Structure 1
Amino acid sequence: MRFFIPLLFRLFLMLLVPIASAAEAPLPTSQATPATAVSQEGVPVKVLNRQIAVFRAPLFGVTPAERARRTSRRIGELLAHAGAGVVTTQLEPQGNVLFIDGSMAIVLGPDDVDKLSGETLDSATQAVRQALADAIAETHESRDRGRQLTALWRSALATVFFLAIAWVVLRFRRAVVDRTTALLTSRADAVHVAGAPIIQASWLQALVRWLVRAAVFLVLAIALYEWLSFVLTQFAYTRPWGEALGSYLFSAGEQLGLGILHALPDLFVAVLIFLLARFVTAALGPVFDRVERGQGRSTWLDKDTAAPTRKIVNIGIWLFALVMAYPYLPGAGSEAFKGVSVLVGLMITIGGSSLMGQGASGLILMYSKTLRVGEYVRINDHEGTVIELGTFTTKIRTGLGEELAMPNAVVLGTTTKNYSRAVKGSGYVLDTVVTIGYDTPWRQVREMLIDAADLTEGVLADPKPRVFKTALSDFYVEYRLVCQAVPSQPRPRAEVLDLLHANILDVFNEQGVQIMSPHYLGDPDTLKVTAPDDPYAAPKRTNKPPASA
């Protein structure tokens, strides 16, 4: 209740202030309003807050503003006399003259007619005559104390009725929220997917509370509007305001209803276009599903490009449907709709350049098949397995368990090393480099490296590991071991490479071959190898690798 009382007061002020402002606006004068502007818009003649006529042209050299001022004063003087208030009309060459109880009240010239709306002098005269009759009747009513008391009694009764409606609505608002929420929650709890409810009770409660509050606001606003319109029509001076409020509500409702009826055919066409777009996307869905499952393939579409192609085709279909349905959408021809369309286009143009660049880079990566999900790659200084190749970012998981998201533009502009392409079957290439002095036979080094690879769990025996002598430097020979890793239990490349390095160290220690590169100053007195009797110095380890078994 505390929330709605200030709200009702604000609604009352919103409805009352424009009416009061319009009533208190002074009549334009000949000095303040140019003659050209007056001739187009006209100057109204008001008596007891009711518009009697509109003067749009000078008469006998008197400006419309001065005519309106004199006529308002003349009619006021005539109504001040307690006469019968009989209105008569006399046709003159200069125009039609209207009399009140035989006294001239107003002269309406041919140029005062609103020709743009198709009004004639006779129809304008009849409207002025009816307005004068209403003003005379309201003048008599304002002097009748009994009718004033009746108006006050009706206004008080309407006020009590309005307050009763507001009290009932606010009183049962909480009960409606509680019962509706309980009913919807019980129904929603019965719907589960995989053992979990689809809709949470907190969401339903917030939604019901918002809907009930909106409904309460709408009901109170309508009741306040009707109460204000009824009260204003009870008094002679404010009756034109009440009539204006009532006619505005009905005209707005009529205009809204006619607008909805006129928009229905176009809206039906727009809905039909969207339904056709939905049908086409649904019909193409099974084709992409078969390709993604590996059951079908064409020259331009395979398992890796099926998902992005589906998105591109669906977006293209819906954009085409939106362009085709745009002229049929309600309000598409309005200036507001056009302004919003221009604003959205400008925002996309200015702020979407980077986004479009990332999307284009993602499409290039997908369709050039530079990367695929599951491949082990090196991008810049980061190594890992590709877990997602998205439209804007590429995600890889490193050997340390980190998940890295790289913008596609960065990936496309960087040299990418792919360890999974030149392999037999699934897996990735594993390579490492050691540098050994010239005093160790190269055949011995080759066999030791191959033995270390054979001892490493996860390294594939077929194809057989190979050793390449990649450089003959000043103090040592550079050997590169290349093998293929296909773990039976998938593990990160860093773990397999760690096991391989451990086995290389163990094998070289067992054979007494020291690794002294790349800095060579001279032969030491003793070999720089681990003693065979104590390969596990403190802190000791209880689990020994298979290489030393």
Structure 2
Amino acid sequence: MYYMLSLMQALQDLLLGWLGNDRKGLVITNLVVIAVTVLFFWLLYVIILRLFRRLSTRVLSEDSRIQPLRIQDQDILSAGDVAKILDRTFMIASWFLRLLIVFAFLNTVLGLFDWTRSFAEQVAGMVKSTVTGLWHGFVTYLPDLFTALVIIGIAYLVVRLLRLVFEGVERQRIKLRGFYPEWSRTSFHLLRLLVIALTLVVVFPYLPGSSSPAFQGVSIFLGVLLSLGSTTAVANVVAGIVITYTRAFRLGDYVCIADTEGRIMERTAFATRIRTPKNVDVSLPNSAVLSDKVINYSSQAMSSGIRLHTGVTIGYDVPWPRVQKLLLEAASATEHIESDPAPYVLQTALEDNYVAYELNATTKEVGLRPKIYSDLHANILDSFRKGGVEITSPHYRAVRDGNASTIPVHEEPPPPEDTVAQPALEESDEAELSEPTLTGEQDEKPAEADETAGSEEQDDRS
């Protein structure tokens, strides 16, 4: 605009020198200069208007080559949305340039007359100084901008190098002693965050306006706001890092955390997601996972398997070898129970009225634990039903009435040859041993004996 005004004034002086400085020459000169000015700015206005209209039409046409804005397979903006944004941008640019042309035209016309020339020159000088200051500031900032770009480029290359190294560690193409592959992803994220933080600290002085008090005040305010409002988030992030380096579990492991049993589906910086056998996803904050115990069923599942155990209580009247045999038969009939190591039974307690048995078996299918337990319990029921043993926990009253003892008949192994046989007990001693007994379910036996004795007396009399 300033140069256009100078050009029109130079043309005006040239025409005045050629036509003369009289009234007639002055009028003709002004008319010619005004006509040239109008024609020039009109042509410039039409060119700008048609250029941006053509660009908008080309962008909005169906055969335009506008591509959608996407990240991988996710469309952030469709092709139509991108076309509309470009159309609005062209329209704003067109209006700005046309208004600038109109303003430059008016200022140039005012500069052609003596009584308004000083005002036009002042406006043109203000615009020139503003543009010159902006350009000078940009040129002055170029060294700092170049330095900042170099620092950012170096940081980017360092991050790329770290990514390649830790990807190699994760895929076990690079092996570091004492460094496990599952640590690689978390370690990379931590080092990348550290590199970005250091880059921001180094680049900050080279940013325009970084030394202004307003910029520093906003930075302090944002820092205090983040530190006060992200206490829980920071605790979850730190807990996630600790969980990673303690190697409590990995993705796909079958675990039990805070009374939630299932398979690890995802572990993010803030939470751990578990899918239960009911196909329900449960999200646990990493701080809760760290503060509770973690039972990992998968850590030894593929190598040696895990022990499944279940218990039953059977009365003293059933011999324990028989109970063990029935429990082992139930275990061998259950699917996914390993034969090596073989199942075994423990007598865990001798209660007042019954014996507590515990069946232990090994499986490698940790994800099927609920179903294996269900099948095992069903097989125990079937095995005891076929064996004629009732799964009960009987209770007895200590009434000494002479009933038979509930001690099961046990076949003693034959004594060695060098063992001296013990003298047989007399009948009176055997009777004395059999008198003090417990009664309960067998209270009806004396009545049955009386009825049998009465029937024998009737037979003798006949």
What TM-score does the superposition give when structure 1 sets the normalisation length? 0.58
Partner of 1:312: 190
Q: Deviations over 1:397-434 (max 9, x none)?
A: 21112222211111111233333345561754433333
* 2:99 is the alignment partner of 1:221: no
Give the drift of 1:157: 7.1
C-alpha contact 1:158 1:227 (8 A) present in aligned 2: no
Give the drift of 1:358: 0.1
Structure 2: where are the runs of 5+ without partners?
A: 1-25, 398-439, 444-462
- How much is the aligned-residue C-alpha RMSD, in angstroms? 4.1
Aligned length: 374
Q: Which amino acid aligns with 1:177?
A: V
Pick the structure with greater CA Rg. 2
* 2:340 is the alignment partner of 1:458: no
Partner of 2:251: 373
Structure 1 residues 421, 166: closer, same or farther in 2, change over 3 A?
closer
Partner of 2:285: 407
* 2:358 is the alignment partner of 1:480: yes
Alignment of 1:446-525 (within 5 A): 446-487=324-365, 491-516=367-392
Q: Which amino acid aligns with 2:385?
A: N
* 2:58 is the alignment partner of 1:182: no
Q: Out of 422, 430, 434, which is 2:308 matched to?
A: 430
CA–CA distance in structure 2, aligned partners of residues 446 and 291 of structure 1 = 50
Give the drift of 1:169: 5.7
Structure 1 residues 441, 270: closer, same or farther in 2, change over 3 A?
farther
CA–CA distance in structure 1, aligned partners of residues 62 and 442 of structure 2 = 89
Q: Deviations over 1:93-113 (max 9, x none)?
A: xxxxxxxxxxxxxxxxxxxxx
Q: Which amino acid aligns with 2:274?
A: I
Give the drift of 1:302: 0.5
Q: Out of 155, 159, 164, which is 1:277 matched to?
A: 155
Q: Out of 372, 383, 399, which is 2:261 matched to?
A: 383
Q: Out of 43, 50, 56, which is 1:168 matched to?
A: 50
Q: Out of 99, 102, 106, which is 1:231 matched to?
A: 106
DSSP 3-state at the match of 2:295: strand
Give the drift of 1:312: 1.3
Partner of 1:209: 84
Structure 1 residues 379, 491: closer, same or farther in 2, change over 3 A?
closer
Structure 1 residues 230, 314: closer, same or farther in 2, change over 3 A?
same
Higher relative contact order (CA 8 A, sep 6+): 2
Partner of 1:250: 128
Structure 1 residues 145, 372: closer, same or farther in 2, change over 3 A?
same
CA–CA distance in structure 2, aligned partners of residues 335 and 176 of structure 1 = 47
Q: Deviations over 1:460-507 (max 9, x none)?
A: 2223333333444444433333333223xx844323333223222222
Alignment of 1:183-202 (within 5 A): 183-185=65-67
Partner of 2:270: 392
Structure 1 residues 356, 211: closer, same or farther in 2, change over 3 A?
same
C-alpha contact 2:253 2:263 (8 A) present in aligned 1: yes
DSSP 3-state at the match of 1:459: coil
Q: Which amino acid aligns with 2:60?
A: D
Q: Which amino acid aligns with 1:223?
A: R
Q: Which amino acid aligns with 2:388?
A: G
CA–CA distance in structure 2, aligned partners of residues 318 and 199 of structure 1 = 26
Q: Deviations over 1:335-383 (max 9, x none)?
A: 4532442233123212211111001111111112222333322122211
Structure 1 residues 153, 305: closer, same or farther in 2, change over 3 A?
same
Structure 1 residues 155, 281: closer, same or farther in 2, change over 3 A?
closer
CA–CA distance in structure 1, aligned partners of residues 325 and 392 of structure 2 = 19
DSSP 3-state at the match of 2:64: helix
Give the drift of 1:277: 2.2
Give the drift of 1:205: 2.7
CA–CA distance in structure 2, aligned partners of residues 455 and 222 of structure 1 = 87
CA–CA distance in structure 2, aligned partners of residues 518 and 501 of structure 1 = 20
C-alpha contact 2:255 2:298 (8 A) present in aligned 1: yes
DSSP 3-state at the match of 1:482: strand
Q: Deviations over 1:290-324 (max 9, x none)?
A: 43234554444112222211221222222222222
Structure 1: where are the runs of 5+ without partners?
A: 1-143, 526-549
DSSP 3-state at the match of 2:66: helix
CA–CA distance in structure 2, aligned partners of residues 312 and 518 of structure 1 = 62
What TM-score does the superposition give when structure 2 sets the normalisation length? 0.67
DSSP 3-state at the match of 1:182: coil
